[in-house]
Structure 1
């Protein structure tokens, strides 16, 4: 099968693109991203989509970085593609933070991607990850943290900035991508840092992968099949585990969970692991914590028996306790003098409220809405304050939360909404919800707004919620 047909097949199989999508394509100027951009420039009319490009200059390679940007700009000008570009002073940020260069670059790059996506209302961010990246990721996971999650590698699609991030090249190799670009008669830029062994991924790429390819030239293809099967199997097992979780684990309050150990022991070990993974997703936001093998093993060990008392101290002041045949996970009691954080109140008197995910909320009366309150990324949602009374407040989800959406007779469970909107499991329990005075969920910030809100002012609307 040709390169173009393989990419088209993946897009159709995984439904990565729909008609009228607005794609924002991340382009560095390298062979992979230039091929990605050119593929969609050539096929955008067939797919019925709009295409724009985005480029970040990390300012790490002096004049070479600036030339990368100019190179991408020339291509976009020649093909009438709008390019969003920004130079980010990574050396200055590193000097202030003294952090990992790659992590800082990634954080700043994706923050810019998010800003532009919101500004232009793009439906999808597109990156040029390919099958060689998949192989390297699996090998790195195998040597560092070989959990079920990490071994699944890079997925073709994931949730990002309230929309989607897609990787249409994830099943094709770098050599296939290079051959495609050369057939098109196009050039690309080479980043000199790719040849250095400074970074872990480069060491795998330069030294480990060639050994595997010498044993089996199709090793990249084999790993691609392996990750696809693992992702499919895990998705099915997680569906079973979530059903068992709802019947086995009780949520007593925001930070307390309990289950009968005997009931847990009756569950197959493969589902036991996933029950704990779901529980960790409720407790933590950090994916490294959630995927910690040591943490998983320590909680499983507590459930080996129903006899006696035992406890395990978990990250972020949580405590797992075995007592009287039950496992309880709870937040440790705060030290004397410490208090729990207050609810974030959203009202016309409070001005801007910043949430833990960086979003800002502000409620104003419609006559008071002014341009000073609005930025390029601000979203406006209108409502009638006699129907949705103030003040509103923000919290994370509780067991049984539901939200009534426009056009629906019955409220929808948030657990189902998060699945439908492809919110990552490890983000669901920390996702900010907008709550009415009667403790009703009226909006999932950045995902869906409930029935009270409209994108345009209705005749009786007198108040507006600004999300930025």
Structure 2
């Protein structure tokens, strides 16, 4: 099968192009991207698309980088292609950030691509990733993460800047691309840095891939078929997983996400892994975090059991907690209680007091209670201020705390109350308590109210505690 026919067939199978698409072709000047640009120059009318080109000079190779840009410009001038080009001082950025050169190059390059996508209103960014790139990506993924995502390699298309990024060359090899250009007598630029072993991908390209090609000269094509099948299987399984995720995972105001572990355990293991991947996709944007094998394994292990308390600290200030058969994912700050030892609540102040994230209190005289103070979630607790002397205070739990409950002769230990009410272990020491001036606990906010309070107004009740 000819090179052109192979690419055409792949584009049609993956539905990479639509009539009237406006393509922005990324061109470095190397053999791959020059072949990509020339392919669309010669087939744009056939596909019914229009094209522009974009080039980035990373300023890493001095005069050679500038010559790459001039070379691409001459080609675009010859064929009437509009070229968007810029120079980005990667060495300066790297010195400031002390970061990885390749990662910085990629970030800045795609940032510029995004700007030009918006400026030109292009519908698709087109890159020249090919079958050899796919092979190298799978090998790198195998040695780094070995997750289901990394084994699927590079996808034919993905979302980018609200539009699409497509890779029409994924099923053709580097050799086929080079032969295509040579057959047409077209020139290209060689990047000397590609011959160095400074980067991981180059080391795989120079030392690992040649050994595999000795065993099977068509190994890149085989891996291309392999990843395509994996992607198709995974798409089906992810559809099932997404449906399951919406049924067993709950998002609420206090916790980012929560689920009953028993329900999770009933799901086949193949879907369990994907449920965790879906969760990580909701929590994070960074692909390295989402595809982290360590995170995936830690969360799966956390769901191995339903009994006992355990927690896993996640990136960006999140924490996963197993408690009383439930998994919850929330921000660590949600576990924090009152910000100071004592927060007085004085009825005459008649103001809202925030006691913890998402919970506030207000004391009002019963005669001053109005619907303007109440929301749909507000709870009202009535009491007699002559029996419960004001002001009241908020503090966290102390050793030996007890509270007298309705129907009990002796105060109940809060340590027992927290167990009975299934309050997570990591939240107990910071849970807000309502206390009197004599340090008597009269309420565990949001859990149980003491003997002084009633949900209905009694004859002698003259004050209301609003919990919202």
TM above 0.5: yes
Q: Residues 248 and 259 of structure 1 are in contact (CA less than 8 Å); yes or no, is this contact kept in structure 2?
A: yes
Distance 1:129 1:278 in 2: 26
Instruction: Give the equivalent residue in structure 1 for 2:195.
Output: 195
Matches within 5 A, 1:26-425: 26-253=26-253, 255-333=255-333
Deviations 1:47-102 (A, max 9, x none): 11111111111111111111111111111111111111111111121222221111
Distance 2:106 2:319 in 1: 33
Distance 1:266 1:337 in 2: 35
Q: Residues 245 and 275 of structure 1 are in contact (CA less than 8 Å); yes or no, is this contact kept in structure 2?
A: yes
1:317, distance to aligned residue in structure 2 (A) = 2.2
Q: Residues 125 and 166 of structure 1 are in contact (CA less than 8 Å); yes or no, is this contact kept in structure 2?
A: yes
After superposition, the Cα gap between the structure-2 partners of 1:10 and 1:254, relative to the gap in structure 1 and judged at 3 Å, is farther
Deviations 1:347-396 (A, max 9, x none): xxxxxxxxxxxxxxxxxxxxxxxxxxxxxxxxxxxxxxxxxxxxxxxxxx
Distance 1:234 1:126 in 2: 24
Q: Residues 254 and 330 of structure 2 are in contact (CA less than 8 Å); yes or no, is this contact kept in structure 1?
A: no
1:297, distance to aligned residue in structure 2 (A) = 1.3
1:272, distance to aligned residue in structure 2 (A) = 0.8
Q: Secondary structure at 2:267's aligned position in 1? A: coil
Distance 2:52 2:3 in 1: 23
After superposition, the Cα gap between the structure-2 partners of 1:249 and 1:335, relative to the gap in structure 1 and judged at 3 Å, is closer
Q: Residues 255 and 328 of structure 2 are in contact (CA less than 8 Å); yes or no, is this contact kept in structure 1?
A: no
Q: Secondary structure at 1:251's aligned position in 2? A: coil
Distance 1:168 1:213 in 2: 23
1:303, distance to aligned residue in structure 2 (A) = 1.6
Distance 1:88 1:99 in 2: 15
Instruction: Give the equivalent residue in structure 1 for 2:392.
Output: none
Distance 1:185 1:19 in 2: 30
Instruction: Give the equivalent residue in structure 1 for 2:15.
Output: 15
Distance 1:129 1:338 in 2: 54
Q: Residues 311 and 322 of structure 2 are in contact (CA less than 8 Å); yes or no, is this contact kept in structure 1?
A: yes
1:45, distance to aligned residue in structure 2 (A) = 0.9
Distance 2:41 2:239 in 1: 38
Distance 1:255 1:85 in 2: 46
Instruction: Give the equivalent residue in structure 1 for 2:356.
Output: none
Distance 1:113 1:338 in 2: 47
Name the TM-score, length of structure 2 as normaliser: 0.70
Distance 1:180 1:324 in 2: 63
Structure number with greater Rg is 2
1:253, distance to aligned residue in structure 2 (A) = 2.4
Distance 1:45 1:104 in 2: 36
Distance 2:255 2:323 in 1: 18
1:301, distance to aligned residue in structure 2 (A) = 1.3
TM-align CA RMSD: 1.6
Distance 1:106 1:338 in 2: 44
Aligned residue pair count: 339
Deviations 1:153-188 (A, max 9, x none): 001101111111110001100000000001111011
Q: Secondary structure at 1:253's aligned position in 2? A: coil
1:316, distance to aligned residue in structure 2 (A) = 2.1
Q: Residues 320 and 328 of structure 1 are in contact (CA less than 8 Å); yes or no, is this contact kept in structure 2?
A: yes
Structure 2 unaligned segments of length 5 or more: list them: 340-468
Q: Residues 254 and 334 of structure 2 are in contact (CA less than 8 Å); yes or no, is this contact kept in structure 1?
A: no
Distance 2:283 2:209 in 1: 37
Distance 1:123 1:257 in 2: 35
1:336, distance to aligned residue in structure 2 (A) = 7.1
The runs of at least 4 consecutive aligned structure 1 residues that moved more than 6 Å come to 335-339
1:254, distance to aligned residue in structure 2 (A) = 6.9
Instruction: Give the equivalent residue in structure 1 for 2:443.
Output: none
After superposition, the Cα gap between the structure-2 partners of 1:310 and 1:334, relative to the gap in structure 1 and judged at 3 Å, is closer
Q: Residues 257 and 329 of structure 1 are in contact (CA less than 8 Å); yes or no, is this contact kept in structure 2?
A: yes
Deviations 1:115-140 (A, max 9, x none): 11111111111110000000000000
- Of 84-93 and 123-132, deviating more is 84-93
Distance 2:7 2:338 in 1: 55
Q: Residues 255 and 283 of structure 1 are in contact (CA less than 8 Å); yes or no, is this contact kept in structure 2?
A: no
1:337, distance to aligned residue in structure 2 (A) = 11
